[in-house]
Amino acid sequence: MNPFLKIAYQPYKWIIVIPFIFLNTMILGLICIFTGLLLKQDAVNIIAVLWSKLCCFIVPVNVVIQGKKNYNRNKSYVIVANHQSMADIPILHGHLGLNIKWIMKKELKKIPIFGSAANQLGCIYVDRSNHDAAIKSIGEAKKRLSKKDCVLFFAEGTRSRDGEMMPFKKGAFRFAHDIDLPILPVTIKNSLHILPSDTFDLTPGTIQIIVHPPVHILHHYMDHPDKVIESIRQTISSAL
Report pLDDT for 202: 94
> Residues of the chain with pLDDT > 70: what percent?
92
Mean pLDDT of the chain: 89
Q: Which amino acid is residue 174, in one-letter code?
A: R
- Mean pLDDT over 124-148 rounds to 70
Q: What share of the chain is helix, strand, coil (3-state, %, to 5)?
A: 50, 15, 35
pLDDT at 215: 94
The residue segments making up the domain with residue 156 are 3-237
Sorting pLDDT into bands at 50, 70 and 90, what band is 142?
low
What is the C-alpha to C-alpha distance for residues 96 and 71, in angstroms, rounded to an integer?
A: 10
* Mean pLDDT confidence for 55-62: 97
Q: In this model, does residue 63 exceed pLDDT 90? A: yes
The stretch 34-39 carries a mean pLDDT of: 92
What is the Cα–Cα distance from 196 to 203, expressed in whole angstroms?
Answer: 9
Q: If you average pLDDT over residues 85-90, what whole number do you get? A: 94
- 117-143 CB burial, b ≥16 within 10 A, e <16: bbbbbbbbbbebeeeeebeebbeebee
- Cα separation of 155 and 78, whole Å? 11
Total domains in the fold of the chain = 1
CB 150 within 8 A of CB 77: yes
Task: Check pLDDT > 70 for residue 141.
Answer: no
Residue 139 has pLDDT above 70, yes or no: no
Residue 135, pLDDT above cutoff 80: no
Question: 169: domain CATH number?
Answer: 3.40.1130
| Range among 34-43, 56-65, 121-130, 220-229 rated most confident | 56-65
Q: Name the more confident of 143 and 40.
A: 40
